[in-house]
């Protein structure tokens, strides 16, 4: 102890102070707290900077230790110098923050005053001007230099130097309008939001060379009127939709999403595609008919029928209009229909809809080769017709810049040759009994994923034909001389897969009756279909085309749901496995090596398959999966299930997804004290480690409160904790706590659920310019630089690439982002704003999150 006193005395003398006059202040870098400590030995600070800034003043004798097990020692001269420099920097930051706050306050006052003044401005239309010509935007080109009146929705909005620039949308086009002078100073102008409806009157002028706007002209307004205001704030259109908005949110708000340029462009192309098909069919002398949607017979399979009551009799929504089309051949000749079809398939892929637009055709007196040639001609001629319209061509290439018209003739591949190709190229299928990956064999139904992989490798349209009769419907004709196979075909397109399915139909009545028998179908309800063979049969064939699938190919849409006005599909699990599979393949190709999944996401199988198909060595990839709530009492079984889903030899990290458990029998969330508690679940997870199939274990959505219950009981320290972390919820205390315990922190939702909150803020816009980085790159770089592991999610390949390009941020940028949560009203969760103060059965207090019922952090 004497040596410590001597050192302090020596240090004090160097500073020109006597030890008696210097208060002693204690710092424990591990157990201390800058928030709750008071600098005494019993309640030390965590940093020397806080010690210098404390109530004792800057002239203090600082004693410091690394951890509670160490002895206190006087701070070194170098450390004291750094602390003093840090204090000065802190003071300077505080001054700047105070100045910024004052400036912001003044700006708010000016804005408030400006708004009050604006309410006094009343616009009146000038009666001396020529009468305005009412027009739609598409008719503007003929009215340049005229005074016109246009109504529509505010599509884009920008206010600059006393001017308000509006891009107006009315469904027929887009028009740039400029409000100036008092027109831009009214209260309505100052609070105007996108998607408001307005009427604007002014003179339409052609833009000078070098300037651009839709249509090449601009409306200089002399009067305008707000017809219907759209909300701002959290309800603003731009807040609801941004590049990080998740798929479920987009589809829940499809009615608003349709207003976007991409969604509306896809629907315009859809309209013209249908017109082009009708034009092509007319050229080939096919007549359009309208079959019924309510049927009492099946075409594709009973398991996929939507059943309903039809005046006391069972009936179904149609799966296909093919049988009805066949009845028209003797009277009308070749026919087609454009009809909605319905399939009750529990398939949540990017290619399936429960209701889709089915373009079907039937042709008489043809051969199988002629049928495929006809399908090829219809596809190619329809595309040609579509692209002959300059406006449509512009839209198609806007949506799909790399689109190439299909080249004729299409490749034709026999089913048996396809099986051979799959085997030779290592494209396997999953055995339904063992779950193992095995080679395809003749007789197998080629899975959609394998079919698409082959098509994408060959990268040309393919007629896959000659499928086994066991895989096809009862009405399909068998190949003469090879009767185990059928005259059937699928047209496969790169990046989409099957868009057309067709076949020759059985012409012989006895063979058709045998088909009914083979499939266990009662022929009685099909008497009218059988009669087509009884009353003068002929060789005939037909096909069905999924309009949404063809549209996805034309416009390069990731899912057919983007090609339907209001998509109807089985929602299934939240994983959207095919989207996940493609996202991971793209991510691994770019260089990502940390993959985060969970049983609860419903995408473990897709993750495992993508890893296997990627060609990246397993040891280079870090894989995390998680234990779901209702498996807390059966950890070993749940782990085995996840391993089977993933198809991997081991996982790198297995997390307890939430501290709360659920009773698997009644779906009730258990209280913290009910068994199995998260401590009991953790002990069961520890027992997985000796097997070597899980390398480490951790927790997710825990807090300091729940960790302090768990850690004393744990034999194995959690290697990782995964929590929501972003600038609105930086959780400095949790980070500090986990660092002191040696627990790595993973940040989920690092871009925030409301990305626009950051992207549209003045702070991030300034950093975009000063750091030369996008908002996403800033957020990910900040997360990495503060020592966390961010796991951003995006299905968009270009954003995956952008997010991968991170860098070290300046101290200024780190400081700005560190302090973003201090902005009024943003400090809290962006994921779990339930309004009820609880999530998955537990209150925020039980979880230890320190938030009010609205998810805002309670400041201590």
Q: How far apart are CA 833 and CA 854, in angstroms?
A: 6
Q: Which two tokens stand for residue 508?
A: 């012989």
Confidence of residue 12 (pLDDT cuts 50, 70, 90): very low
Same domain, 521 and 450: yes
Q: Compute the average pLDDT of residues 331-343.
A: 95
Query: What sign does the dihedral 724-728-729-732 (CA atoms) show?
Result: positive
How much is the average pLDDT of 257-271?
94
Is 618 a domain residue? Answer: yes
Asked whether the beta carbons of 322 and 299 are under 8 A apart, the reply is yes
Whole-angstrom distance, CA of residue 725 vs CA of residue 829: 9
Q: Which position has the higher pLDDT, 389 or 852? A: 389
Q: What's the rounded Cα separation, in Å, for the pair 627 and 599?
A: 7
**Residue 718 and residue 593 in one domain:** yes
For 749-831, where are the E strands, in sequence order?
Answer: 789-791
Tens digit of each residue's pLDDT (9 = 90 or more) over 404-424 = 999 999 999 999 999 999 999
Are 68 and 201 in a shared domain?
Answer: no
Copy the structure tokens of residue 527. Answer: 């008497």
Task: Please report which confidence band the pLDDT of residue 161 belongs to, taking 50, 70 and 90 as the band edges.
Answer: confident
Q: How many helices (H) and strands (E) does the chain have?
A: 28, 33
Q: What is the mean pLDDT of residues 349-355?
A: 79
- The answer to whether residue 832 is domain-embedded is no
C-alpha–C-alpha distance, residues 513 and 510, integer Å = 5
Give the angle subtended at the CA of 783 by the CAs of 777 and 784, to the nearest 5°: 90
In a domain, 605, yes or no: yes
Give the pLDDT of residue 330: 97
Pick from 23-27, 105-109, 216-220, 835-839: least confident: 835-839
Strands of 697-700's sheet, edge to edge? 594-596, 622-627, 653-656, 697-700, 720-724, 744-748, 789-791
Exposed/middle/buried for residue 673 (C-beta within 10 Å: 0-12, 13-18, 19+): exposed
The pTM of this model reads 0.65
Q: What is the pLDDT of residues 309-322, one digit of tens each?
A: 889 888 889 999 99
Of 28-37, 354-363, 769-778, which range is least confident?
28-37
> CA-CA distance, 307 to 415, in Å (whole number)?
34
Does residue 580 sit in the same domain as residue 718? yes
Is residue 348 predicted with pLDDT exceeding 60? no
| pLDDT score recorded for residue 299 | 62
* Sequence-distant (≥ 6) Cβ neighbours of residue 246 within 8 angstroms: 753
Q: How much of the chain exceeds pLDDT 70, in percent? A: 93
β 488-493/462-465 pair status: antiparallel
**Considering Cα of 197, then 201, then 204, then 209, what sign does the dihedral take?**
negative
Looking at residue 96, what is its pLDDT? 81
Full residue range of the structural domain in which residue 153 is found: 133-230
The catalytic residue among 415, 526, 601, 654 is 601
Residues 531 and 580 in one domain: no
Residue with tokens 């209150």: 843
State the CATH number of the domain containing residue 622.
3.20.20.100
How far, in Å, CA of 757 to CA of 432, rounded?
46
Residue 251 in tokens? 């589809």
Q: What is the Cα–Cα distance from 573 to 603, expressed in whole angstroms?
A: 8
- Residues 436 and 346 occupy one common structural domain: yes
* Claim to verify: residue 628 and residue 677 sit in the same structural domain: yes
Q: How crowded is the C-beta side of 173, counted as CA atoms within 13 Å?
A: 17
pLDDT given at position 17? 44
Q: Is residue 235 part of a domain?
A: no
pLDDT of residue 165: 95
Residues 6+ apart with CB under 8 A from 443: 468, 470
d(CA 850, CA 828): 9
Residue 541, domain CATH: 3.30.930.10
Provide the pLDDT for residue 32: 86
State pLDDT tens for residues 84-106: 888 888 888 778 878 877 888 88
Q: Is the pLDDT of residue 286 over 70?
A: yes
Q: 302 Cβ partners below 8 Å, 6+ apart?
A: none
For the chain, the distance separating the N- and C-terminal CA atoms, rounded to the nearest angstrom, is 37
Q: Is the pLDDT of residue 460 over 90?
A: yes
pLDDT in tens, 360-373: 999 999 999 999 99
The answer on 496 and 366 residing in a single domain is yes
761 located within any domain: no
pLDDT at 5: 40
Specify the pLDDT at position 97.
Answer: 75
Residue 612 scores a pLDDT above 80: yes
Residue 173 has pLDDT above 80, yes or no: yes
**What's the domain count of the chain?**
4
* Residue 604 host element (H or E): helix 604-614
- Same structural domain for residues 410 and 477? yes
385 — pLDDT class (breaks 50, 70, 90): very high
Give the domain CATH number at 42: 3.30.1910.20
Domain co-membership, 191 together with 288: no
Query: In this model, does residue 2 exceed pLDDT 50?
Result: no
pLDDT at 615 over 90: no
Last residue of some domain: 529, 562, 595? 562
What span, in angstroms and rounded, lies between the C-alpha atoms of 154 and 8? 70
Return the minimum-mean-pLDDT range out of 84-98, 263-277, 683-697.
Answer: 84-98
The pLDDT of residue 410 is 97
For 290-333, give the DSSP string. Answer: ---SEESS-SS-GGG--EEEETTEEEEE-S-SHHHHHHHHHHHS
Residue 808 lies in a domain: no
> Which of helix, strand or coil describes residue 232?
coil
580 and 547 share one domain? no
Comparing 247-256, 307-316, 378-387, 588-597, the range with the smallest average pLDDT is 247-256
How many whole angstroms separate alpha carbon 178 and alpha carbon 487? Answer: 63
Within a domain: 253: no
Catalytic site includes residue 475: no
Q: What is the pLDDT of residue 244?
A: 56
Phi-psi region of 571 (alpha: psi -120 to 50; beta: other; left: phi over 0): alpha
Give the mean model confidence (pLDDT) for residues 27-32: 86
Contact criterion met (CB below 8 Å) for 466 and 484: no
Q: Which of the four pLDDT bands, split at 50, 70 and 90, describes residue 664?
A: confident
pLDDT tens, residue by residue, 482-538: 999 999 999 999 878 899 999 999 999 999 999 889 888 899 989 999 999 999 999
The predicted pLDDT at position 574 comes to 37
pLDDT 10s digits, 741-794: 999 999 998 988 767 788 888 899 989 888 899 999 999 999 999 999 999 877
Residues 541 and 620 reside in one and the same domain: no
pLDDT surpasses 90 at 581? no
Give the 3-state secondary structure of residue 203.
Answer: strand
Q: 3-class SS at 528?
A: helix
Predicted confidence (pLDDT) at residue 30 exceeds the cutoff of 50 = yes
Q: Report angle CA 187, 193, 195 to the nearest 5 degrees.
A: 135
**Assigned token pair, 659:** 């501290």
Q: Kindly indicate the confidence band of residue 303, based on its pLDDT and cuts at 50, 70 and 90.
A: low
Domain contains 364: yes
Where is the domain boundary, 505, 540, 562? Answer: 562
Mean pLDDT of the chain: 89
- Among the candidates 724, 743, 771, a domain finishes at 724
Instruction: Specify the CATH number for the domain of residue 204.
Output: 2.40.50.140
Neighbours of 241 (CB within 10 A): 17
- What mean pLDDT do residues 607-635 have? 92
Buried (b) or exposed (e) across 747-758, using 16+ Cβ within 10 A? Answer: bbbbbbbbbbbb
């Amino acid at each position: 102890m004497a040596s410590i006193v001597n050192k302090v005395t020596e240090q004090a003398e160097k500073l020109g102070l006597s030890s008696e006059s210097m208060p002693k202040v204690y710092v424990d870098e591990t157990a201390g707290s800058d928030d709750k400590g008071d600098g005494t030995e019993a309640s030390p600070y965590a940093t020397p900077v806080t010690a210098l800034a404390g109530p004792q003043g800057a002239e203090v004798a600082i004693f410091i230790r690394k951890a509670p097990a160490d002895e206190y020692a006087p701070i070194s001269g170098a450390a004291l110098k750094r602390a003093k420099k840090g204090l000065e920097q802190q003071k300077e930051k505080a001054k700047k923050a105070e100045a910024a706050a004052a400036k912001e306050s003044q700006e708010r006052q000016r804005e408030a005053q400006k708004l009050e003044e604006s309410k006094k401005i009343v616009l009146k239309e000038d009666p001396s001007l020529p009468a305005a010509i009412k027009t739609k935007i598409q008719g503007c080109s003929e009215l340049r230099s005229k005074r016109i009146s246009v109504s529509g929705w505010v599509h884009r909005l920008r206010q600059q130097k006393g001017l308000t620039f509006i891009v107006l949308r009315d469904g027929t086009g887009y028009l740039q309008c400029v409000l100036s002078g008092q027109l831009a100073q009214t209260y309505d102008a100052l609070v105007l939001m996108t998607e408001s409806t307005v009427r604007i009157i002014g003179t339409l002028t052609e833009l000078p060379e070098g300037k651009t706007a839709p249509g090449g002209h601009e409306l200089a307004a002399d009067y305008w009127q707000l017809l219907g205001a759209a909300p701002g704030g959290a309800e603003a259109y731009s807040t609801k939709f941004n590049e990080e908005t998740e798929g479920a949110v987009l589809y829940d708000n499809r009615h608003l999403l349709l207003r976007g340029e991409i969604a509306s462009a896809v629907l315009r192309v859809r309209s013209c595609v249908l017109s082009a098909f009708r034009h092509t069919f007319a050229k080939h002398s096919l007549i359009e008919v309208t079959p019924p949607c309510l049927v009492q017979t099946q075409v594709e399979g009973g398991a996929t029928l939507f059943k309903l009551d039809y005046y006391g009799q069972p009936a179904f929504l149609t799966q296909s209009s093919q049988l009805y089309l066949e009845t028209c051949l003797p009277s009308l000749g070749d026919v087609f229909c454009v009809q909605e079809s319905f399939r009750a398939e529990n398939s949540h892929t990017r290619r399936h809809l429960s209701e889709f637009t089915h373009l079907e055709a039937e042709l008489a007196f043809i051969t199988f080769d002629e049928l495929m040639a006809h399908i090829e001609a219809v596809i190619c001629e329809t595309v040609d017709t579509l692209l002959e319209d300059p406006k449509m061509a512009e839209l198609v290439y806007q949506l799909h810049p790399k689109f190439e018209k299909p080249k004729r003739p299409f490749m034709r591949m026999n089913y048996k040759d396809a099986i051979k190709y799959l085997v030779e190229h290592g494209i396997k299928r999953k055995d339904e009994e063992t779950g193992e990956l095995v080679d395809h064999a003749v007789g197998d139904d080629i899975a959609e994923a394998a079919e698409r992989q082959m098509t994408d490798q060959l990268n040309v349209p393919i007629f896959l034909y000659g499928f086994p009769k066991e895989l096809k419907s009862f009405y399909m004709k068998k190949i003469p001389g090879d009767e185990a196979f059928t005259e059937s075909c699928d047209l496969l397109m790169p990046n989409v897969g099957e868009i057309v399915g067709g076949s020759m139909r059985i012409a012989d009545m006895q063979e058709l009756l045998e088909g009914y028998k083979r499939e266990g179908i009662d022929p009685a309800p099909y008497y009218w279909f059988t009669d087509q063979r009884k009353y003068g049969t002929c060789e005939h064939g037909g096909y069905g085309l999924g309009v949404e699938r063809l549209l996805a190919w034309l416009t390069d849409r990731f899912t057919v749901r983007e090609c339907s006005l209001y998509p109807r599909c089985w929602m299934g699990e939240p994983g959207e496995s095919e989207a996940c599979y493609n996202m991971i393949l793209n991510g691994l190709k770019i260089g990502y090596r940390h993959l985060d999944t969970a049983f609860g996401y419903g995408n473990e199988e897709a993750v495992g398959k993508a890893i296997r198909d990627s060609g990246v060595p397993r040891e280079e990839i870090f894989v995390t999966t998680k234990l779901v709530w209702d498996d807390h009492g059966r950890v070993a079984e749940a782990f085995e299930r996840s391993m089977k889903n993933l198809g991997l030899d081991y996982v790198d990290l297995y997390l307890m997804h939430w501290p709360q458990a659920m009773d698997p029998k009644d779906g009730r969330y258990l209280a913290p004290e009910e068994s199995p508690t998260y401590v009991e679940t953790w002990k069961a997870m520890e027992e997985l480690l000796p097997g070597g199939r899980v390398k480490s274990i951790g927790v997710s959505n825990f807090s300091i409160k729940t960790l302090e219950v768990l850690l004393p009981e744990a034999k194995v320290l959690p290697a990782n904790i995964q929590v929501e972390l972003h600038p609105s919820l930086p959780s400095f205390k949790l980070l500090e706590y986990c660092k002191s315990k040696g627990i790595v922190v993973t940040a989920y939702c690092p871009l925030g659920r409301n990305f626009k909150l950051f992207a549209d803020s003045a702070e991030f816009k300034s950093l975009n310019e000063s750091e030369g980085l996008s908002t996403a790159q800033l957020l990910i770089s900040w997360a990495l630089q503060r020592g966390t592991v961010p796991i951003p999610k995006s299905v968009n390949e270009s954003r995956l690439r952008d997010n991968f390009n991170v860098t070290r941020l300046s101290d200024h940028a780190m400081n700005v982002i560190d302090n973003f949560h201090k902005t009024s009203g943003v400090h809290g969760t962006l994921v779990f704003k339930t309004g009820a103060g609880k999530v998955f059965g537990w209150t925020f207090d039980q979880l230890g999150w320190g938030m009010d019922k609205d998810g805002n952090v309670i400041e201590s």
